[in-house]
Amino acid sequence: MRTIQLKHRSPPTAEAGEDPEGLDGSALLAALRTMRNGDFRVRMPEGKAGIQGAVAEAFNDIAELNQRMAQELRRVTRAVGREGRISHRVSIGPAGSWARNE
C-alpha cells in the first residue's frame, strides 16, 4: 500500500491565503491523480485532527472501496469469463466507516 504524506505547514498568515487547517493540497492532488490512474493502493495518513483528518479518512474509505471493487471484478471476470461459472455475482460488502461499525 502506498501512502502519500500530507505535509503539515505552520499556521498561515492572513495575507498568505492558505488553508487554516494546514491541508496540503498538492499531496491530496497527487493521491487523487494516482487513484485516477488506477492505483487504488494509495492512502493518505490518518490520525490528524480537523478537516485534514476528515479528508484523509474519506479519501482512504473511497480508495479502499475502489480497491475492493477492482479485486472483486477481477474475480468475477475470471469465474465467469474464463471458467464459465455464470452463477457468480459481485459482492463488495461494507467499506470504510461502515465496515468498522460491524
DSSP codes of every residue in 66-97? HHHHHHHHHHHIIIIIIT--TT--------TH
Classify 84 in phi/psi space as left (phi over 0), alpha (psi -120 to 50) or beta: left
Cell numbers for 23: 491541508
- pLDDT tens, position by position, for the chain (102 residues)? 666 654 444 333 333 344 545 677 888 999 999 999 999 999 998 888 888 889 999 999 999 999 999 988 888 888 777 766 666 666 666 666 556 555
Stated pTM of the model: 0.61
Residues 3 and 42: beta-carbon distance below 8 Å: yes
